[in-house]
Chain A
Amino acid sequence: GEDVEQSLFLSVREGDSSVINCTYTDSSSTYLYWYKQEPGAGLQLLTYIFSNMDMKQDQRLTVLLNKKDKHLSLRIADTQTGDSAIYFCAESLQTGANNLFFGTGTRLTVIP
């Protein structure tokens, strides 16, 4: 199956770290992605991780992948008000295939 679950809401104070979690059911994932969606906008690709990696760091973003538990997380360091948005994790089950399976989305609210 392609169930991808996320908690719906997260609130953090400006300057703190945010951790957004995602669980998936299909162990054949090849790549896993994090997208950001701001109000009235499309999806912006933030980062991705290949399924044989455990961690990837990209400036303020750190992605952790626990393949055994099928758990993916996105940590945003020094969270800013501009980070307020909905964050989606997504998985690809086939290398080169563009049909992504998206999570339910987590609405991150950053409190000044």
Chain B
Amino acid sequence: KAGVTQTPRYLIKTRGQQVTLSCSPISGHRSVSWYQQTPGQGLQFLFEYFSETQRNKGNFPGRFSGRQFSNSRSEMNVSTLELGDSALYLCASSLPGVRNEQFFGPGTRLTVL
């Protein structure tokens, strides 16, 4: 079974631009969560989508948004990029259930210049 895939793997943008990252979950997984990883703040939860609806949201500004499609693929968008948005963005997928076993993709490394 193929794992979680994320595209692109690397991205360079300039301040003020916007960016869209994509995540394809493991087949059959309906929940997709997004995390931001930075050296200073560590791993922080952005949001979770389940059946095309946002189910949980972390403490990030409204510039960070996401969506999920009917095939469970998810995108996240960051508008008006700031230097501090440079990070590794990780997506994770999981089956519905109580154990929250999340399977992570390799991440998208975003650099904002």
Q: Residues on A close to B: CB < 8 A? A: 30-31, 33, 35, 40-45, 48, 88, 90, 92, 95-105
Contact of A100 among B4, B31, B102, B107 (CB under 8 A): B102
* Contacts A/B (CB < 8 Å), 8 sampled: A45-B101, A45-B104, A88-B43, A95-B98, A97-B55, A98-B92, A99-B58, A104-B42
For B106, the chain A residues whose CB sits under 8 A away are: 40-42
| Residues of chain B having any CB pair with chain A under 8 Å | 4, 31, 33, 35, 42-45, 48, 55-56, 58, 90, 92, 94, 96-107
Q: Are A99 and B48 interface neighbours, CB within 8 A?
A: yes
**Distance in angstroms between the alpha carbons of A79 and B50 in the assembled complex:** 38
A30 to B94, CA, bound (A): 17
C-alpha spacing A43/B106, complex, angstroms: 8
Find the A residue at minimum CB distance from B93: A98
